[in-house]
Amino acid sequence: MADGTVSDHKPGEIRRTFSTLSTGQDQNGVVQPLLTDLYQITMAYAHWKSEKRTDHAVFDLYFRKNPFRGEFTIFAGLHECLKFFNNYTFSKSDIDYLRTILPPSTEEGFFQYLSDMDLSQVTMYAIPEGSVVFPKVPLLRVEGPLPIVQLLETTLLTLVNYASLVATNAARFRMAAGPGKSLLEFGLRRAQGPDGGLSASKYCYIGGFDGTSNVLAGKLFNIPVKGTHAHAFVTSFTSLDDLKNRMLQPADQSKSLQNLVEMSQTWLDRIEGLLEILKEETHKGELASFISYAMAFPTGFLALVDTYDVLRSGIPNFVAVALSLHDLGYKSIGIRLDSGDLAYLSLRAREIFTKIADKYNLPWFAKLNIVASNDINEETIHSLNQQGHSIDTYGIGTHLVTCQRQPALGCVFKLVEVDGVARMKLSQDMEKMTLPGKKNVFRLYGHDGHALVDLMMQEKEEAPSPGQRVLCRHPFEESKRAYVIPASVEPLLKKYWFEGKICQPVQSLHDIKSRMESSLRSLRADHKRALNPTPYKVSVTAGLYQFMHDLWLHNAPIGELS
Amino acid sequence: MADGTVSDHKPGEIRRTFSTLSTGQDQNGVVQPLLTDLYQITMAYAHWKSEKRTDHAVFDLYFRKNPFRGEFTIFAGLHECLKFFNNYTFSKSDIDYLRTILPPSTEEGFFQYLSDMDLSQVTMYAIPEGSVVFPKVPLLRVEGPLPIVQLLETTLLTLVNYASLVATNAARFRMAAGPGKSLLEFGLRRAQGPDGGLSASKYCYIGGFDGTSNVLAGKLFNIPVKGTHAHAFVTSFTSLDDLKNRMLQPADQSKSLQNLVEMSQTWLDRIEGLLEILKEETHKGELASFISYAMAFPTGFLALVDTYDVLRSGIPNFVAVALSLHDLGYKSIGIRLDSGDLAYLSLRAREIFTKIADKYNLPWFAKLNIVASNDINEETIHSLNQQGHSIDTYGIGTHLVTCQRQPALGCVFKLVEVDGVARMKLSQDMEKMTLPGKKNVFRLYGHDGHALVDLMMQEKEEAPSPGQRVLCRHPFEESKRAYVIPASVEPLLKKYWFEGKICQPVQSLHDIKSRMESSLRSLRADHKRALNPTPYKVSVTAGLYQFMHDLWLHNAPIGELS
């Protein structure tokens, strides 16, 4: 309850591991082989007809540009990809449907091929979920029979793209707010439908949020859920006459019931001078709603104070009820501001709470939680920090879950090798070139533990060693190269799927969140700053550079300059 | 197949009505009472404790501003709201979970109350799904016991917000492209996860798209699915040696198999002069991939021509294969462009197709379908229209499904009445004021069939009549008012949910799409134009105006001007 809202999920009471979610109540019932683009199926048929079904293909899943004008990305969605692999089967009803959309000439053998398909011949390497990742580096490397691996493209992209985007956005909000603040995700109502909301809750938690308002996300993923009340709750009361129950049991159960309405009115009398208001000014429907809420949640009282007038009505009403609760042995939590000038109002609120704390010798009153939640984006938080404010907790919805600043991450899934022969798609745009062939990736760290550079190489090349000098080249620009002597070396790609099974220990959401935190810590501050961050270097070995550029020349059509 | 892609869903072969989707395989298994914000549950408990469980509340669901700097919105998501109502039950596992997150002091009676809860006492009025709608007008009016209706808020918002946003976006793309073009939704990989993608496919179809690439959306919603092949398919072939099957059966089944590889090479010889290329220039891996695809889909041949060089390789290879297919009795579909200058390349492609049509007397060749699909947004289409182009079909992904220009619609759910007494939330910002009380809404039409104005009134007021003069006032600005004599009057709110049942005929997706088309047609062109559209007028009667402003004065706290 430290965040000032009614409820924490009590860890341990419902033990639901992340991995057991693939059965039973699960948001991702729709993740199945048909959740794909039709062209994946038509390509599979053409490959099948061309007898390419045993060609051994290697695909890389990567993105070309970090989102949000930043210089890092948090990789998320891997666990969902593994669940998708684990459950990969075309049902009879899928096959029946495909018969209706493919041409009548489609051969029966192809439908049988799909019916029999499984991923036992597919191998997937991945960077661990929650890692900080960079452009061009494969997040997933998927190998296996060409038509089968091609079929996986769209679903893998849909599972990785939004997950990584929103986790990155959450991490940026966390960095803006600083480690001392609470961050709550309130985005369900503005997400891309029900599952968009659930995905947002899960991946924002990974990215550094403390909880969500989404109850189902709490239930499914064991994430803390938080919440208080809305304006409608306040306006549902018009006067103190609306209160039928007025008696509250003090915290000390041996004491007798007390009339919370009378106590609150008395306190309003006592504080009107101190708060420089007239007690008649405070809205009595609002006071009634606060009392009603306090009766229901005496240990979790947090009031939304901006329905009428924050300083003349909301805060005085809150203070009166909170002091009454204190007389009965209960500590209140705080207030929520959902409109107006959040910097000014939070400072004024803190001033009032401090006055009360001093006057009545209640030091905890000065530390009441102030929650702010009005259409907040990353820039709002930076601006609040500059102005000075007294907000403890941010509730963030729209801008977080829709990633308003950049609502899509452009991961792609590119064929890089068939039967041991490297492939690449040429492009006029150098940034769009594929890095061909099966590659390994290493992260090189300096003596201070910070990541220096990511280094891609051909699979046959020897891994870099700590203390050994290694040449790191820019993949496309000939003049950019540097020798690096790493203090330590981390192989980024690990084998996650092999012979039809997940072959790494399943990570809980909390494990992934921890990895995100440690991985982000290993990144130098200048790569992470909000304004003009320094790009992190992604490089290739001299061997891979030469190989790529030879292949590029070999593949380019012979033309004339025009 | 008119759109130039492999497959149309054949209507009738799978008859799956929209309404049967609530059972069985359905994307919205996650739509359930716990898909809500925690504060809805805590408010319900406070209301329950305050003995307000039988208070009769009226809530309006509406938005304050049209999206995309436009002046209209398409209302969508109603059918999903009705399915949510129909299935509304707290399961035992839900209650068990809530016990772990609510304070131990929560009374047992409340959990029993939730367990017993159903929506038999709730009534919902709505504007028909697919209608053009405007700010401030209630899209839904939900009435019933206060705590129960309050509990519905978040889920209704999450079902309406994105659905209406993306349907509106789709309608804008349709208007930009014009009625003669095909529009295909390709957004699955960039949507907010799996269900974001499914919702996008469904509501883009309602909003005016012709089909989707998303196979599962096709299966679940009976939407046409479309698709061809990707760059990876092209790069998966390196030379003609990759083709093991080379023989194709002509359309006339009595004829003998022909070697499509040899035919295509011969055609490449014959056209090199006409196309001003060297046949050695065309990429032979690309040619092999086109032949492979044509062998699999001789009646649906559409080639992605930009893997290497559109004019020197992709189009010549396509033409050679298409002419070979023609010799065998098959008509090809066309090409897809996924990079480069789409206006220029489409015009050049059309020029080449026309040359071929003239030279070989094949008029259909000049009309081949040109599909464009590279990161297209609404402005791209307007710009293409200005430049001149020859694109027939647009495949649109990221910008469509993420609604990049404005990724959230801000629908709200506001309490407007309790036990017959109107409520309103005051706000410093006039646009944020609630219109209090239970209201009816009428759309007034002129003699030419165009909508003139939406008029809200108190429930007790008499409906406007055709031919009768009625005063329409701006809800907040005193000086803005006008008399209107409507030629016809449409009551917008219809009763959809009453006594625990859906009480209107269930609309199919196709019905909703038709309604969108006719409703949008009834809107004057100047309200719909892309640049500086005229705002459509939303008004209140003199009676409602007076009532609102009295209530406003009555509710405002007495303060000093500061």
**Inter-chain touch A236–B13, beta carbons under 8 Å:** no
Instruction: Report in angstroms the alpha-carbon separations of A397 from A180, A186, A439, B359.
Output: 20, 4, 39, 61
Res A494: pLDDT = 98
pLDDT surpassing 90 at residue B342: yes
Q: CA-to-CA distance for A383 and A395, rounded, in angstroms?
A: 16
Q: CA-to-CA distance for A518 and B391, rounded, in angstroms?
A: 50
Contacts of B415 in chain A (CB under 8 A): 231-232, 235-236
pLDDT surpassing 90 at residue B1: no
Q: Which of B50, B51, B53 would best serve as a mutation to test chain A binding (most A beta carbons within 10 A)?
A: B50
Nearest CA among B436, B437, B429, B426 for reference residue B557 = B426
Res B24: pLDDT = 34
Contacts of A339 in chain B (CB under 8 A): 427-429, 432
Contacts of B103 in chain A (CB under 8 A): 6-7, 297, 299-300
Nearest CA in chain A to B311: A559
**Per residue, what are the HEC states of A248-265?**
ECCCCCCCCCEEHHHHHH
- Residue A539: phi and psi, rounded to 5, are -135, 170
Contacts of B296 in chain A (CB under 8 A): 42, 45-46, 49-50
Structure confidence at residue B18 as a pLDDT band (50, 70, 90): very low
Nearest CA in chain B to A96: B14
Nearest-CB residue to A50 (from B57, B102, B245) = B245
**Inter-chain touch B49–A213, beta carbons under 8 Å:** no
Res B556: pLDDT = 62
Three-class secondary structure of residue A330 per DSSP: coil
Q: CA-to-CA distance for A221 and A205, rounded, in angstroms?
A: 10
Nearest CA among B453, B485, B419 for reference residue B52 = B419
Q: CA-to-CA distance for A30 and A33, rounded, in angstroms?
A: 9
Contacts of A54 in chain B (CB under 8 A): none
Nearest-CB residue to A236 (from B161, B226, B415) = B415
Contacts of B194 in chain A (CB under 8 A): 28, 30-31, 35, 155, 158-159, 195
Nearest-CB residue to A307 (from B32, B402, B425) = B425
**Inter-chain touch A407–B410, beta carbons under 8 Å:** no
Instruction: Report in angstroms the alpha-carbon separations of B475 from A77, B150, B428, B456.
Output: 47, 26, 16, 9
**Inter-chain touch A199–B186, beta carbons under 8 Å:** no
Q: CA-to-CA distance for A38 and B185, rounded, in angstroms?
A: 12
Mean pLDDT over B467-476 rounds to 95
Q: What is the largest CA-CA distance in chain A?
A: 96
Domains of chain A: 28-168+407-555 (3.20.140.10), 228-366 (3.20.20)
Structure confidence at residue B317 as a pLDDT band (50, 70, 90): very high
Res A470: pLDDT = 96
Q: CA-to-CA distance for A193 and B84, rounded, in angstroms?
A: 13
For A14-58, give the DSSP string: S---GGGGGSSS-GGGG-STTSSBHHHHHHHHHHHHTT-TT-EEE
Contacts of B225 in chain A (CB under 8 A): 38, 101
Written as six digits, the tokens of B61 are 């669901």
Q: CA-to-CA distance for A130 and A128, rounded, in angstroms?
A: 6
- A553 vs B184, higher pLDDT: B184
Per-residue confidence of chain A (562 residues) as pLDDT tens digits?
Answer: 334 444 443 333 333 333 333 333 344 578 999 999 999 999 999 999 999 999 999 999 999 999 999 999 999 999 999 999 999 999 999 999 999 999 999 999 999 999 999 999 999 999 999 999 999 999 999 999 999 999 999 999 999 999 999 999 999 999 999 999 999 999 999 888 888 899 999 999 999 999 999 999 999 999 999 988 999 999 999 999 999 889 999 999 999 999 999 999 999 999 999 999 998 889 999 999 999 999 999 999 999 999 989 999 999 999 999 999 999 999 999 999 999 999 999 999 999 999 999 999 999 999 999 999 988 999 999 999 999 999 999 999 999 999 988 889 999 999 999 999 998 776 666 677 789 999 999 999 999 999 999 999 999 999 999 999 999 999 988 899 999 999 999 999 999 999 999 999 999 999 999 999 999 999 999 999 999 999 999 999 999 999 998 888 876 654 444 3
Nearest-CB residue to A308 (from B31, B188, B426) = B426
**Inter-chain touch B216–A30, beta carbons under 8 Å:** yes
- Residue B132: phi and psi, rounded to 5, are -75, 130
Nearest-CB residue to A313 (from B50, B213, B557) = B557
Res B427: pLDDT = 64
**Inter-chain touch A196–B199, beta carbons under 8 Å:** yes
Report the relative pairing of strands A182-185 and A393-396 from DSSP bridges: parallel
Nearest CA in chain A to B33: A216
pLDDT surpassing 90 at residue B419: yes
Nearest-CB residue to A312 (from B192, B199, B559) = B559
Residue A190 identity: R
- Residue A123: phi and psi, rounded to 5, are -120, 135
**Inter-chain touch A313–B29, beta carbons under 8 Å:** no
Task: Count A/B contacts: CB-CB distance under 8 Å.
Answer: 444
Nearest-CB residue to A101 (from B9, B25, B42) = B9
Three-class secondary structure of residue A156 per DSSP: helix
**Inter-chain touch B193–A163, beta carbons under 8 Å:** yes
| Alpha-carbon distance A126 to nearest alpha carbon in chain B (angstroms) | 19
Res A478: pLDDT = 87
Q: CA-to-CA distance for B508 and B194, rounded, in angstroms?
A: 23
**B6 close to A42: Cβ distance less than 8 angstroms:** yes
Rg (CA), chain A: 29
Strands laid side by side in the B412-418 sheet: B421-422, B412-418, B56-62, B140-145, B123-126, B494-498, B501-502
Long-range contacts of A465-473 (CB under 8 A, 24+ apart): A465/A489, A470/A444, A470/A541, A471/A541, A471/A542, A472/A444, A472/A537, A472/A539, A472/A540, A472/A541, A473/A539, A473/A540, A473/A541, A473/A542, A473/A545
**Inter-chain touch B189–A157, beta carbons under 8 Å:** yes
**Inter-chain touch A198–B428, beta carbons under 8 Å:** no
Share of chain B above pLDDT 70, in %: 93
Nearest-CB residue to A283 (from B101, B188, B557) = B557
Q: CA-to-CA distance for A359 and A314, rounded, in angstroms?
A: 20
A538, containing H or E segment: strand A537-540
**Inter-chain touch A229–B283, beta carbons under 8 Å:** no
Res B359: pLDDT = 97
Res B551: pLDDT = 86
| Alpha-carbon distance A230 to nearest alpha carbon in chain B (angstroms) | 7
| Alpha-carbon distance B1 to nearest alpha carbon in chain A (angstroms) | 11
**Inter-chain touch B102–A296, beta carbons under 8 Å:** no
Q: Which of A87, A89, A106, A215 would best serve as a mutation to test chain B binding (most B beta carbons within 10 A)?
A: A215
Contacts of B555 in chain A (CB under 8 A): 283, 308
The mean pLDDT value of chain B amounts to 91
Nearest-CB residue to B14 (from A46, A100, A429) = A100
Instruction: Report in angstroms the alpha-carbon separations of B436 from A558, B139, B143, B482, B552.
Output: 72, 15, 14, 22, 9
**Inter-chain touch B192–A200, beta carbons under 8 Å:** yes
**Inter-chain touch A557–B283, beta carbons under 8 Å:** yes
Q: Which residue has the tokens 């010799």?
A: B327
Contacts of A279 in chain B (CB under 8 A): none
Rg (CA), chain B: 29
Q: Which of B39, B95, B292 would best serve as a mutation to test chain A binding (most A beta carbons within 10 A)?
A: B39
**Inter-chain touch A307–B415, beta carbons under 8 Å:** no
**A205 close to B28: Cβ distance less than 8 angstroms:** no
Length of chain A measured in residues: 562
- B349 vs B280, higher pLDDT: B349
